[in-house]
Structure 1
Amino acid sequence: MRRGSDRISELDDSVLTQILSHRTTKEAAQSQALSKRWKNVWVSVPVLDFDFADYWEEEMIEIKEHNTFVDGWYECHEDFVRIIDDALASRQGQQIDKFRLVWKYQVKNFDRHGHPVRRWILLILEKRPRVLSIYVQPSICEVNVPDQAFTCLSIEDLKLHVDNRCPEVLRPAAVNLPNLRVLNLGYYTIEADCMNKLLLGCPNLAELELFACELNFSEISCGNLKSLVIFGCCHSAEIRVSIQSLQYLQVSITSYQPVGFVLENMTSLVKACVFFLTAEYMEREFSKSDSKIMNGLTGVTNLDVVLHGKDAKDMLKHSLKNFPYFENLKALHFESFGFALSDCIRQLDRLVRHSPLLEDLTFYRCQDESDEDELLEELTAVVTDHGNCRLAESNQGHTYGSLKELEDLLIKGMKRAENKKMQEIPLEEEDEEEDVDEENVGGEAEWDDEEEEAGENGEEQWEEEDGEENVSDLEEYDEDEDDDFGDV
């Protein structure tokens, strides 16, 4: 029987190169075994995509608790470095359009000769890349991303997640990225002057993401920004976000943070996602700015609310105490992790009640212990009592990588916040702040375990039965409480 012709090999080199550009570098390199022609194609691929997980051998590496540190042999790390060095050497004089590196569990100490990631970045920048994506976590020694990464005129998409032993303060000498549209920074300490440099030096920036960073500034304002994500970050000052062009916003509110966000001038905002994050080992704390977060989202048409930890429902309740009215909301997605979804029916009821145009309500639950029929009955009652929207269960939640990864991120952020507080805030100032809180400056409503006081201008309040309800053990509304809600 005659063997069939190899139609793929008959394609032009440019087409084959395009095909291999959509594969990982390991997969593309394996094509060399097909023929000499494929070897020539491989070395002309303008995309290099390396993930350490594609090269390690499970029997050589013991992953300890939290999947953070690796014991055992370093040969796999050394081989990984040689593979990338060889790939770069094979592309002498060629342009590289995209370079992506994911290096988890990086435990080899490169202090003597400098970290290879810094050397690779310098080599890639000479080849005028359009996309540069670096993820190294954790790094035993300093990577020290070169300043040239912030002055490369060709870059359109820049991601730098470098988790060093100590958070590196981002201090580029200059920022000149006229073509940059996407900027993603992780595990850095970012000061106010650095943020100003980034926003001024990236005039066409459309998407900004800050992940697990320490933020030492009080304002973000950028005329062209369309998307903003601030997740798992620590900040000692209230951050004011005022971006008229912003269309998508994602923020995380953590119980250990003494301050939160104030949203202003969000006239173009269409979709928002708010994470309320708590854990048993965290001290519960509700800030005044957190009580304003939902009031800054009243104009959105799509809203995702994600609760993580048993006290997260109380944080949401705190944020709803000012009675925000979502006049344009058409789609609401609700998630709960760490407790039963039925435990936060009251909060969900309030969101639906104050959204007169709501059309779609979707929900996701993780390890929900509530009764299936009872939960659906409660959710259906929420929908039918306050509107005519559709109810559907989502098959995918907004888990960030994994719940374990999220827990680790919360622990790390909490420790950083506590260390910063101990170093910078004298005990006398802490006492003064507590006194100010007790005096309820500005007439804002304060959190109370027994009942909530009436707000300014006679605003309606979330009534509770005296002595029967506390912050962590919410019960069902009774008919009298429902009547107290009214319509805003």
Structure 2
Amino acid sequence: MVKKVKMKGVDRISSLPDSILSHILSSLSTKAAVRTSVLSTRWRNLFTLVSNLNFEFDEQHIHWRKRHKRSTVKSFMCFVDRLLFFHTVNVDKFRLACGKRVDSDRIYGWISAALRRGVKHLDINITLDKFTLPGALFTCRTLVTLKLDSGFVLHVPKAVHFPYLETLHLKSVEFFNDDSVSSLFSGCISLQDVVIEKCNMENISNFNISHHFLKKLTILYSFDCSNCWLMIDTPNLVYFKYKDHVAAGYSLENLASTVSADIQFLIEDEDLHDVTAFFKGICIVRSLILSLDSLKLLLGCESIPVFSTMVELKIFKIWSENHWWSSSMDEGLETLLSRSPELEKLSFPQVVLSSRPEQVPSCLLFKLKAIEILNFKDDEDCIRKAKYILKNGGALENFTMHTYLCEGKRLKMSKVLLASPMKSNHCNFLIL
């Protein structure tokens, strides 16, 4: 018979190997990891083995007197200095977030220290007016992820070499000139995911994203892009999201591999812009999301392209659209449906279906399996639209309508529509 022996007062965690303990500490905040040094002699220097470093100093939440502010900023800088001085291993993740009160020379040195330690994932969020990134950053062979969130001008040298960089996120960056953009993307030979958010395009005439391996591209809320041409040449792009103002012009080439596109044009006036080249570039997608303004721009193109491979389409209203849909629109969703022969899944606000064309779109006759109508009302126009769909939807399997009506009115509407002719014999009908 084996006796169970209870070992009281034994610190089993401290007996673990350094590699395991450093891995545990890497899951904590950097400050918490350093605080463990007071636990015992065993823990005194373990924080120097942590591979994930996160330094964050939020000046907005400091409400003390100026002297205390200076003291707090100095304490933060000394803390980062000491930790990096004693740090002995390579850095996997390095994040730095601080404001204008932190000395720029210190920031330059901290980033340089991370680069010397073979950092793989670098996340810099600073708000300095004038700051130059270390030149060693642009030839860092270890970087896999680079995220820059800052208000300074990004001046990229010609000699850029990121052999393993896969993810590039740029936010609130002002590009120095066209050459900075082209140098940056040409030096990232393994790039797969790019996010350009709230960047200033004032100095750019051609924003050229040309990359053979890029798979995901997101462009959001650019500033001063009205005089800038957007040029995209990405033969292996799978996902494309564009939520931005209309640029001066577009050149979208080699996007045949794009599976999904989310297009949300931000329009501040009622004038329609010519974005024909933009939509011709993405017309080979399988799944397309469009805001109401984007649909309006598409229908206003000189020549609406045929979306020959699109099987899923979603139309929706975004918060920044200060209008709904004009009832006087000559063309509505029905025009786009006539150019989407393979469409199988459709979601849209009922108001964008402006008319019921005599020549029924072929996708409604033979392909559409699921239709979802948003903001459905109990007026005659809405009822006629629903009857039109039921009468011609030969492949329809699911027909869902979302409404704000009470239960009694929904039941009454349901009886009316169920009594109307249906082309499909296996359609599930639902009013929510």
Tell me which of 70, 92, 96 is aligned to 2:91: 96
Q: Which residue of 2 aligns with 1:336?
A: 318
Alignment of 1:23-422 (within 5 A): 23-32=28-37, 34-53=39-58, 58=61, 60=63, 73-91=69-87, 93-103=88-98, 106-108=99-101, 110=103, 114-136=104-126, 138-139=127-128, 141-164=129-152, 168-186=153-171, 187-211=173-197, 212-214=199-201, 215-217=204-206, 219-233=208-222, 234-235=224-225, 236-254=227-245, 257=247, 259-278=248-267, 282=268, 285-288=271-274, 290-305=275-290, 307=291, 313-321=292-300, 322-333=303-314, 334-338=316-320, 343=325, 354-360=339-345, 375-376=375-376, 381=386, 388=396
Where 2:191 maps in the other structure, the secondary structure is coil
Where 1:129 maps in the other structure, the secondary structure is coil
Q: How many angstroms does 1:163 deviate by?
A: 0.5
* Cα distance in structure 2, aligned partners of 1:31 and 1:24: 11
Assess if the C-alpha contact under 8 Å between 2:158 and 2:180 holds in 1: no
Calculate the TM-score normalised by the size of structure 1: 0.61
Equivalent residue letter for 2:188: C
Per-residue deviation, residues 101-157 of structure 1 (Å, max 9, x unmatched) = 233xx23274xxx44221211111111111211111x32x41211211001122122
Taking only aligned residues, the RMSD between alpha carbons, in angstroms, comes to 4.0
Calculate the TM-score normalised by the size of structure 2: 0.68
CA distance 1:314–1:301, change in 2 (3 Å) = closer
Assess if the C-alpha contact under 8 Å between 2:347 and 2:374 holds in 1: no
Per-residue deviation, residues 200-259 of structure 1 (Å, max 9, x unmatched) = 32222222332313233253322222222222224423222122111122223315x4x1
Assess if the C-alpha contact under 8 Å between 2:36 and 2:47 holds in 1: yes
Q: How many angstroms does 1:340 deviate by?
A: 8.2
Per-residue deviation, residues 393-418 of structure 1 (Å, max 9, x unmatched) = 99xxxxxxxxxxxxxxxxxxxxxxxx
Please say which structure displays the higher CA radius of gyration.
Answer: 2
Assess if the C-alpha contact under 8 Å between 1:253 and 1:260 holds in 2: no
* Cα distance in structure 2, aligned partners of 1:21 and 1:45: 5
Where 1:337 maps in the other structure, the secondary structure is coil
Assess if the C-alpha contact under 8 Å between 1:360 and 1:391 holds in 2: no
Aligned residues: 353
Q: How many angstroms does 1:362 deviate by?
A: 6.2
* Cα distance in structure 2, aligned partners of 1:388 and 1:40: 67
* Cα distance in structure 2, aligned partners of 1:116 and 1:383: 65
Equivalent residue letter for 1:160: L
Per-residue deviation, residues 426-468 of structure 1 (Å, max 9, x unmatched) = xxxxxxxxxxxxxxxxxxxxxxxxxxxxxxxxxxxxxxxxxxx
CA distance 1:389–1:181, change in 2 (3 Å) = farther
Assess if the C-alpha contact under 8 Å between 2:288 and 2:312 holds in 1: yes
Q: How many angstroms does 1:8 deviate by?
A: 4.9
More contact order relative to length (CA 8 Å, sep ≥ 6): 1
Tell me which of 7, 14, 17 is aligned to 2:19: 14
Equivalent residue letter for 1:327: S
Assess if the C-alpha contact under 8 Å between 1:190 and 1:213 holds in 2: no
Assess if the C-alpha contact under 8 Å between 2:206 and 2:231 holds in 1: no
* Cα distance in structure 1, aligned partners of 2:347 and 2:28: 35
